[in-house]
Chain A
Amino acid sequence: ETGVTQTPRHLVMGMTNKKSLKCEQHLGHNAMYWYKQSAKKPLELMFVYNFKEQTENNSVPSRFSPECPNSSHLFLHLHTLQPEDSALYLCASSQAVFQGTNEKLFFGSGTQLSVL
């Protein structure tokens, strides 16, 4: 049990589908994040939520829509994705919003997404 749980672990979807990724953290943290890891690229920050409020949207296309109903749950709603959106989507949490020293991110296992 890592403390951050993501479902589903694997997802295959067509370009016209709508699906959602779910993340839940059991660590009592206040900040949650979505990261994207594409093949041969660094982890890219997508969204940041602090106390349920979105504080960062890293120029992510609108076909990705995050939702944070409370500090423990984070969703990523997907619609009309492109094949190049195929990647590993990682959720993470931290005690406070990550602004540097002594803060750590705790990651889930990720959802491996394939868009056909």
Chain B
Amino acid sequence: DQQVKQNSPSLSVQEGRISILNCDYTNSMFDYFLWYKKYPAEGPTFLISISSIKDKNEDGRFTVFLNKSAKHLSLHIVPSQPGDSAVYFCAASGQSGGGADGLTFGKGTHLIIQP
């Protein structure tokens, strides 16, 4: 069963408008969340993260919102630019009491910015 879900496989947004990518999780032990961006033929690159002690983190055009009660986070990109066209992965991690769990990823959302 998927613990991190990105229910929209793709999203098309007009250049200059806001892009909103959504992510839901089921594991209440997750306490750190990240967004990665992936271009074709490249590995994912870190974009922005948020700890569960916060409900918002902003970095330039990118803002991540976390709603712990709903187990939901979202990534807002404003204004959207053509270079933002990529696949965006939501990932989560939790303090599981020992061992290296790495990150649990969603399937990704392909964001397409239309000129």
Q: Name A's B-contacting residues (CB within 8 A).
A: 2, 4, 6, 9, 31, 33, 35, 40-45, 48, 50, 55-56, 90, 92, 97-110
Contact = CB atoms under 8 A, between A and B. Distances in A.
A35 B43 CA distance: 11
A48 B102 contact: yes
Q: Give the bracket for the number of chain B residues in contact with chain A.
A: 20 to 34
Interface of B: 2, 4, 31-32, 34, 36, 41-46, 49, 51, 89, 91, 93-96, 99-108
A104 B102 contact: no
Nearest to B90: A42
> Secondary structure of the A side of the interface?
loop
Given A99-B95, A110-B43, A31 B100 contact: yes
Contacts of B2: 42
- Which A-B residue pairs are the 4 nearest by beta carbons? A107-B43, A97-B100, A43-B105, A45-B102
